[in-house]
Structure 1
Amino acid sequence: MARSGGEKERKFELEDNRIDSGIESISISRDYGSLDSSEEKDKLGTEERLDSAYVSSSLTVDSLGDLIEECIISDCENPTDCEYTEEEVNFLTTVTEDGDTILHLAIIHEEQRFAHWLIDLFPQELMDIQNNLYQTPLHLATYLNQPTVVKGLVEKKVLLELQDQEGNTPLHVACEHGFLECASEMVHSASPSKLANMLETQNWRGLTCLHVATLHKHHRLMRLLMKKGVDLNIQEGTSGKTALHMAVELHDVQAVTLLLNRGANVDAAMFNGCTALHLAVGRQDASIANLLCQAGADKMIRNMEDETALDLADGNDDILALFPFDDIQINF
């Protein structure tokens, strides 16, 4: 950056090659919605850039690279003490046609040192700007597993509850991809009321963070959420499944055991009346059915089809052995 003391003013060249917004087609192996690999390399011949589905940004790879290269952060102990030319101020405060700030772009391009410098410089409200994919810088830093950037953002009190175009908060993103460090920074920094709200927030598929962590078998993240007081029996919004129902459907013995040991309601019913035992028996999973029975599952609960779990056993001897003769009701 130009400093006070008569350094020569620079001009930032804005060319036709575009830096693209967001994260929706990042060329990495993790799947996040509809992702497309970018085949373009940046002009400097370095590693492949992270591009999005949009192609109309007004900032270029070269202009971002030049800015980063020419910044001498050590010249100012505090970025807010530095003086900038009008061009530099305009550059730093630019929001692209795709809604990205320079902070979004620094994170996308994994320029973490520059991102930290911008976090020190920017006011909190600027760091909560959502791009055209409704992603904040915190969404992007989480998706790209940059825990130190996440830490810097949460220390500046950015909003944790903002949702992207899929309805995911940054914590949803961490729970989907198993990024424990990023999740820890968020849950440890939130006030009790904000944390409770964040843990109850559903994405557009009706899933809370616990549901997402369970679906992806991220047991360490499940434990983290449990330590923070997540409601184990919260139902997802489409069919009323709890995390226990989901773990049973996945035949995930470890998650089932974890949830039962932490006090999940073994008899919680979906909107159709099915309990976890209905699902385990219907899937012929004798080992999980046995775990549920040992946890005190009610074998005679009927779903909306008037079926008990026993009605779904389909002659499976291992499962039938779990049901005492007294529980079998013969209708004449």
Structure 2
Amino acid sequence: MATGECGKDDLLEENRTDSGIDSYRSILKSEEPREPSSDFSGPRDKFSSGEERLDSAYGSSSITVESLSEIVEDCTLSSASEEQAQTSELSEQDNLLTTITEEGDTILHLAIIHEDKFIAQELIQLFPKEVLDIQNNLYQSPLHLATYLNLTDVVKGLVGRGVSLDLQDQDGNTALHVACHHGQTECATEMTRDVSPSKLVPILETQNWRGLACLHLAALNRQHHILKILMKKGADLNIQEGTSGKTALHLAVELHDVTSVKLLLSRGANVDAAMFNGCTPLHLAVGRQDAAIAHLLCQSGADTMLRNMEDETALDLADGNDDILALFPFDDIQISGRSVVGVKF
């Protein structure tokens, strides 16, 4: 993307939700380093590398599942009269609940990382919305983490409390980006189910720092069910990713993903959409010698005469492939100096 590193940092700082409780920040020091438990499987395996770690506090925080349970059990919601009496200061209990670790995690972040759904749900009801939206040092909100780990009930609880869906992590991904990338269909459903179009469309158009919108990620990862969800919710099928101008249809063609190509075309994706270099999906299909997808595109009305910035039509890229040449209605003529005399149709 054209945005420089400084620009990205500025955007992160502007978009990051502040804890609003800095005066109560109490850093939790590690007692002893701990490795993730042996049953750390499923979605978490995706974050075992440094590139997409879930959270460094998982291995270093002295807070355990047991201590989380004790904290929550000791916390009860104040009655209306008690709340009025405590407006001038936070109670000792509140201080504990608003503690943030060195990695920027709240107790809710940690409950989600430990996959303790019960405690997470209790905290979701206990915390005000502002705390539910706190982002850790990796700019991950609780919703990001719950989506990474495919904790659908927790995602539902967070969305029900009205958490912000537009928060972006350090890679520019919203929680919906995460769902599209990792195929968390149920999480994507919860995040889009009851959201008004005016609020959802801007999120669907948000691009991460690689220039990818949710629809691009769904296409890149062959998430057909999520593609259907995004289409139903009004995603722009012709939105271009920020590096080369590809639409989801271009990406599906590159992957030889016939299912996605059919889905996109059936919902009205522009069959002749051009990348920044002028290549249409048909250019890509022919260049990759994919006669089946080239046929689908032609059936959907692809213009065979469009030229890219190299002044090439799709036929110029056919490279003598008879199956592809048979798709073009030319005979006894030359195109771009290439003879097609004798081609059998």
TM score, norm. by length of structure 2: 0.79
Q: List per-residue Cα deviations over 1:277-332 (Å, max 9, x = no partner).
A: 00000000000000000000000000000000000000000000011125954467
Letter of the 2:304 partner, please give it: K
1:209 alignment partner in structure 2? 214
CA distance in 1, matches of 2:72, 2:216: 43
Q: Secondary structure at the match of 1:244?
A: helix
1:61 alignment partner in structure 2? 63
Identical aligned residues as a percent: 64
Q: List per-residue Cα deviations over 1:202-222 (Å, max 9, x = no partner).
A: 011100000000000010000
* Contact 1:27–1:51 (Cα < 8 Å) also in 2: no
- Give RMSD over aligned pairs: 3.0
Q: 1:192 to 1:327 in 2, by over 3 A?
A: farther
Q: Secondary structure at the match of 2:102?
A: coil
1:40 alignment partner in structure 2? none
CA distance in 2, matches of 1:331, 1:202: 38
Which gives a bigger RCO, structure 1 or 2 (Cα 8 Å, sep 6+)?
2
CA distance in 2, matches of 1:329, 1:124: 67
1:162 alignment partner in structure 2? 167
Q: Secondary structure at the match of 1:325?
A: coil
2:31 alignment partner in structure 1? 16
2:49 alignment partner in structure 1? 35
Segments of 5+ residues of structure 2 without an aligned counterpart are 1-27, 338-345
Q: Secondary structure at the match of 1:189?
A: coil
CA distance in 2, matches of 1:54, 1:170: 20
1:198 equivalent to 2:203? Answer: yes
CA distance in 1, matches of 2:45, 2:160: 28
1:248 alignment partner in structure 2? 253
Q: List per-residue Cα deviations over 1:105-129 (Å, max 9, x = no partner).
A: 0000011100110011100011111
CA distance in 2, matches of 1:328, 1:230: 42
Within the candidate set 131, 134, 138, 2:139 is matched to 134
* Contact 1:280–1:286 (Cα < 8 Å) also in 2: yes
Deviation for aligned residue 1:70: 6.5
Q: 1:302 to 1:331 in 2, by over 3 A?
A: closer
* Contact 1:19–1:51 (Cα < 8 Å) also in 2: no
Q: List per-residue Cα deviations over 1:103-159 (Å, max 9, x = no partner).
A: 000000011100110011100011111000000000000110011111111111110
CA distance in 2, matches of 1:293, 1:328: 20
CA distance in 1, matches of 2:275, 2:45: 29
Q: 1:15 to 1:290 in 2, by over 3 A?
A: closer
Tell me how many residue pairs correspond in the alignment: 299
TM score, norm. by length of structure 1: 0.82
Q: 1:222 to 1:86 in 2, by over 3 A?
A: same
Deviation for aligned residue 1:66: 2.4
1:289 alignment partner in structure 2? 294
Letter of the 2:103 partner, please give it: D
Deviation for aligned residue 1:36: 5.2
Segments of 5+ residues of structure 1 without an aligned counterpart are 1-12, 21-25, 38-49
